[in-house]
Amino acid sequence: MPVDADTASLSIRGARRRRAREGLARHDGSRRSHRLSRTEENPVVVPLTRPLAPAPYTLLPAVPPFMLTSDDVRHGERLPDAHAAPPHPNVSPHLRWEGFPPQTRSFFVNVFDPDAPGPSGWWHWSVADLPVTTTSLARGAGSPDAERLPLGAFHLRGDDGVAGYVGAAPPPGDREHRYVFAVHALDVEHATISPETMPGAAACGATFHTIARALLVATYRR
Protein backbone atom coordinates (compact mmCIF):
# COMPACT_ATOMS: atom_id res chain seq x y z
CA MET A 1 0.00 0.00 0.00
CA PRO A 2 1.24 3.58 -0.58
CA VAL A 3 3.18 5.23 2.28
CA ASP A 4 2.98 9.00 2.77
CA ALA A 5 6.11 11.11 3.32
CA ASP A 6 5.50 11.63 7.07
CA THR A 7 5.09 7.90 7.70
CA ALA A 8 8.22 7.14 5.68
CA SER A 9 10.18 9.74 7.65
CA LEU A 10 9.04 8.25 10.96
CA SER A 11 10.01 4.76 9.77
CA ILE A 12 13.49 5.94 8.78
CA ARG A 13 13.99 7.69 12.13
CA GLY A 14 12.78 4.59 13.97
CA ALA A 15 15.19 2.39 12.04
CA ARG A 16 18.04 4.76 12.83
CA ARG A 17 17.17 4.68 16.54
CA ARG A 18 17.09 0.86 16.49
CA ARG A 19 20.49 0.76 14.77
CA ALA A 20 21.87 3.23 17.32
CA ARG A 21 20.60 1.08 20.20
CA GLU A 22 22.12 -2.02 18.59
CA GLY A 23 25.40 -0.16 18.14
CA LEU A 24 25.44 0.81 21.81
CA ALA A 25 24.76 -2.79 22.76
CA ARG A 26 27.65 -3.96 20.62
CA HIS A 27 29.92 -1.46 22.35
CA ASP A 28 28.73 -2.38 25.83
CA GLY A 29 31.41 -4.26 27.73
CA SER A 30 29.02 -7.10 28.60
CA ARG A 31 28.14 -7.91 24.97
CA ARG A 32 31.34 -7.50 23.02
CA SER A 33 32.46 -10.44 20.93
CA HIS A 34 35.66 -9.00 19.48
CA ARG A 35 39.13 -8.83 21.01
CA LEU A 36 39.60 -5.57 22.86
CA SER A 37 42.62 -3.31 22.99
CA ARG A 38 45.29 -3.61 25.68
CA THR A 39 44.03 -0.44 27.35
CA GLU A 40 40.38 -1.43 27.98
CA GLU A 41 39.34 -1.44 31.64
CA ASN A 42 37.04 -4.46 31.41
CA PRO A 43 38.29 -6.56 28.51
CA VAL A 44 36.43 -9.64 27.36
CA VAL A 45 38.27 -12.95 27.60
CA VAL A 46 38.46 -14.61 24.19
CA PRO A 47 40.13 -18.02 23.75
CA LEU A 48 43.31 -17.76 21.68
CA THR A 49 44.21 -21.42 21.20
CA ARG A 50 47.36 -21.68 19.07
CA PRO A 51 50.69 -23.53 18.92
CA LEU A 52 53.49 -22.46 21.22
CA ALA A 53 55.89 -20.09 19.48
CA PRO A 54 59.56 -21.13 19.48
CA ALA A 55 61.98 -19.43 21.81
CA PRO A 56 63.13 -16.43 19.76
CA TYR A 57 66.86 -17.15 19.60
CA THR A 58 66.87 -20.92 19.12
CA LEU A 59 66.62 -20.63 15.32
CA LEU A 60 69.38 -18.04 14.96
CA PRO A 61 73.10 -18.76 14.54
CA ALA A 62 74.47 -20.14 17.80
CA VAL A 63 76.69 -17.81 19.83
CA PRO A 64 78.31 -18.28 23.25
CA PRO A 65 76.21 -17.39 26.30
CA PHE A 66 77.14 -15.12 29.17
CA MET A 67 75.42 -14.29 32.45
CA LEU A 68 72.41 -11.97 32.85
CA THR A 69 70.88 -11.46 36.30
CA SER A 70 68.50 -9.01 37.96
CA ASP A 71 67.74 -7.76 41.44
CA ASP A 72 64.06 -7.61 40.41
CA VAL A 73 63.38 -10.59 38.14
CA ARG A 74 64.27 -14.27 38.56
CA HIS A 75 64.82 -16.50 35.55
CA GLY A 76 61.90 -18.86 34.98
CA GLU A 77 59.64 -17.14 37.50
CA ARG A 78 56.71 -14.75 37.27
CA LEU A 79 57.48 -11.16 36.32
CA PRO A 80 56.57 -8.94 39.30
CA ASP A 81 53.60 -6.63 38.78
CA ALA A 82 55.93 -3.65 39.19
CA HIS A 83 57.20 -4.40 35.69
CA ALA A 84 53.78 -4.87 34.06
CA ALA A 85 51.95 -2.25 32.01
CA PRO A 86 49.48 0.23 33.58
CA PRO A 87 47.57 0.16 35.85
CA HIS A 88 50.74 -1.42 37.28
CA PRO A 89 53.87 0.76 37.74
CA ASN A 90 55.36 -0.14 34.32
CA VAL A 91 58.97 0.17 35.52
CA SER A 92 61.82 -1.57 33.73
CA PRO A 93 63.69 -4.01 35.99
CA HIS A 94 67.31 -3.83 37.05
CA LEU A 95 69.65 -5.84 34.79
CA ARG A 96 73.28 -6.86 35.27
CA TRP A 97 75.57 -8.86 32.96
CA GLU A 98 79.05 -10.35 33.07
CA GLY A 99 81.26 -12.91 31.34
CA PHE A 100 80.98 -11.46 27.82
CA PRO A 101 83.85 -11.91 25.32
CA PRO A 102 86.84 -9.53 25.55
CA GLN A 103 86.32 -8.48 21.91
CA THR A 104 82.90 -7.00 22.75
CA ARG A 105 82.59 -3.37 21.60
CA SER A 106 79.03 -2.50 22.65
CA PHE A 107 75.74 -3.98 23.86
CA PHE A 108 72.21 -4.08 22.50
CA VAL A 109 69.43 -4.87 24.99
CA ASN A 110 65.86 -5.83 24.21
CA VAL A 111 62.76 -7.46 25.69
CA PHE A 112 60.51 -9.63 23.53
CA ASP A 113 57.25 -11.53 24.05
CA PRO A 114 57.14 -14.43 21.55
CA ASP A 115 53.68 -15.46 22.80
CA ALA A 116 51.81 -12.30 21.77
CA PRO A 117 48.93 -13.35 19.48
CA GLY A 118 50.39 -12.17 16.19
CA PRO A 119 52.87 -13.42 13.60
CA SER A 120 55.77 -11.36 14.94
CA GLY A 121 55.42 -11.39 18.74
CA TRP A 122 55.71 -8.11 20.64
CA TRP A 123 58.74 -5.92 21.32
CA HIS A 124 58.58 -4.26 24.75
CA TRP A 125 61.94 -2.50 24.96
CA SER A 126 65.10 -1.94 22.92
CA VAL A 127 68.25 -0.04 23.92
CA ALA A 128 71.08 0.49 21.45
CA ASP A 129 74.68 1.70 21.60
CA LEU A 130 75.35 0.78 25.21
CA PRO A 131 79.12 1.21 25.65
CA VAL A 132 81.21 -1.81 26.59
CA THR A 133 81.93 -0.19 29.96
CA THR A 134 78.23 -0.48 30.83
CA THR A 135 77.47 -3.77 32.55
CA SER A 136 74.14 -2.97 34.18
CA LEU A 137 70.95 -0.96 33.78
CA ALA A 138 69.31 0.51 36.86
CA ARG A 139 65.70 -0.13 37.75
CA GLY A 140 63.69 2.42 35.79
CA ALA A 141 66.32 2.89 33.08
CA GLY A 142 63.57 2.24 30.54
CA SER A 143 61.89 5.57 31.30
CA PRO A 144 61.17 7.42 28.03
CA ASP A 145 63.21 10.41 29.21
CA ALA A 146 66.33 8.16 28.94
CA GLU A 147 67.92 9.98 31.88
CA ARG A 148 69.26 6.73 33.35
CA LEU A 149 70.93 5.56 30.15
CA PRO A 150 74.66 6.11 29.67
CA LEU A 151 75.80 8.85 27.32
CA GLY A 152 75.29 7.85 23.69
CA ALA A 153 72.79 5.06 24.33
CA PHE A 154 69.19 5.45 23.19
CA HIS A 155 65.77 3.78 23.23
CA LEU A 156 64.02 2.54 20.12
CA ARG A 157 60.26 2.66 19.77
CA GLY A 158 58.60 -0.60 20.73
CA ASP A 159 55.47 -2.12 19.25
CA ASP A 160 53.39 0.20 21.44
CA GLY A 161 55.05 3.18 19.74
CA VAL A 162 56.80 4.18 22.98
CA ALA A 163 60.52 4.96 22.98
CA GLY A 164 61.23 3.22 26.27
CA TYR A 165 60.12 0.27 28.34
CA VAL A 166 56.52 -0.96 28.15
CA GLY A 167 55.62 -3.65 30.64
CA ALA A 168 53.84 -6.95 30.25
CA ALA A 169 50.18 -6.80 29.18
CA PRO A 170 49.11 -10.15 27.73
CA PRO A 171 45.46 -10.57 26.70
CA PRO A 172 43.32 -11.39 29.77
CA GLY A 173 42.70 -15.10 30.09
CA ASP A 174 45.45 -16.02 27.64
CA ARG A 175 48.06 -18.58 28.57
CA GLU A 176 51.28 -17.63 30.30
CA HIS A 177 53.50 -15.37 28.16
CA ARG A 178 57.29 -15.46 28.14
CA TYR A 179 59.25 -12.20 28.41
CA VAL A 180 62.74 -12.68 27.05
CA PHE A 181 65.27 -10.15 28.32
CA ALA A 182 68.35 -10.29 26.10
CA VAL A 183 71.74 -8.59 26.18
CA HIS A 184 73.59 -8.95 22.88
CA ALA A 185 77.37 -8.45 22.88
CA LEU A 186 78.28 -6.79 19.58
CA ASP A 187 81.57 -6.52 17.70
CA VAL A 188 80.89 -2.88 16.74
CA GLU A 189 80.84 0.27 18.87
CA HIS A 190 77.80 1.77 17.16
CA ALA A 191 74.89 -0.01 15.51
CA THR A 192 73.84 1.42 12.15
CA ILE A 193 70.37 2.30 13.45
CA SER A 194 68.54 5.34 14.81
CA PRO A 195 65.83 5.87 17.44
CA GLU A 196 63.29 5.56 14.62
CA THR A 197 64.45 2.09 13.53
CA MET A 198 61.76 -0.53 14.10
CA PRO A 199 62.70 -2.95 16.91
CA GLY A 200 62.41 -6.03 14.72
CA ALA A 201 64.68 -4.51 12.10
CA ALA A 202 67.18 -3.52 14.79
CA ALA A 203 67.17 -7.04 16.24
CA CYS A 204 67.73 -8.48 12.78
CA GLY A 205 70.65 -6.16 12.12
CA ALA A 206 72.17 -6.93 15.53
CA THR A 207 72.24 -10.63 14.67
CA PHE A 208 75.02 -10.00 12.14
CA HIS A 209 77.22 -8.44 14.83
CA THR A 210 76.30 -10.56 17.87
CA ILE A 211 79.26 -12.51 19.24
CA ALA A 212 77.59 -13.61 22.48
CA ARG A 213 74.15 -13.35 24.07
CA ALA A 214 72.80 -13.42 27.62
CA LEU A 215 69.16 -14.29 28.33
CA LEU A 216 66.76 -14.03 31.24
CA VAL A 217 63.18 -15.26 30.79
CA ALA A 218 60.24 -14.38 33.04
CA THR A 219 56.56 -15.18 32.60
CA TYR A 220 53.31 -13.27 33.10
CA ARG A 221 49.59 -13.76 32.63
CA ARG A 222 46.38 -11.93 33.56
The verdict on 30 and 113 lying in the same domain is no
Give per-residue pLDDT as tens, 99-156.
999 999 999 999 999 999 999 999 999 999 999 999 999 999 999 999 999 999 999 9
Domain identity same for 191 and 89: yes
Check whether residue 81 and residue 128 sit in a common domain: yes
Check pLDDT > 90 for residue 4. no
Whether the CA torsion 140, 181, 161, 174 is positive or negative: it is: negative
Rounded to whole angstroms, the Cα distance separating 100 from 211 reads 9
Mean pLDDT of the chain, nearest integer: 87
Give yes or no for a contact between 141 and 111, defined as CB atoms under 8 angstroms apart: no
- 214 lies in the same domain as 163: yes
Specify whether 73 is located in the same domain as 161: yes
- Per the domain annotation, does 125 fall within a domain? yes
Q: What is the pLDDT of residue 47?
A: 72
Domain containing 14: what range? 1-34
In this structure, what are the phi and psi dihedrals at residue 92, rounded to the nearest 5 degrees? -70, 140
Does residue 167 form part of some domain?
yes
- Smallest CA-to-CA distance from 106 within 190, 183, 164 is with 190
Indicate if 29 and 74 belong to the same structural domain: no
Task: Work out the average pLDDT over 3-17.
Answer: 46
pLDDT on residue 28: 34
- With respect to residue 148, please indicate whether it lies within any of the assigned structural domains: yes
- Rounded to an integer, the average pLDDT of 3-23 is 46
pLDDT of residue 48: 87
How many domains does the chain fold into?
Answer: 2
Instruction: Classify 11 as helix, strand or coil.
Output: helix
Read off the pLDDT of each residue in 193-214 and give the average, rounded to a whole number: 97
In tens, the pLDDT along 58-73 reads: 999 999 999 999 999 9
**Could you tell me the pTM of the whole model?**
0.80
Residue 43 pLDDT level (bands cut at 50, 70, 90): low
C-alpha of 178 from chain center: 11
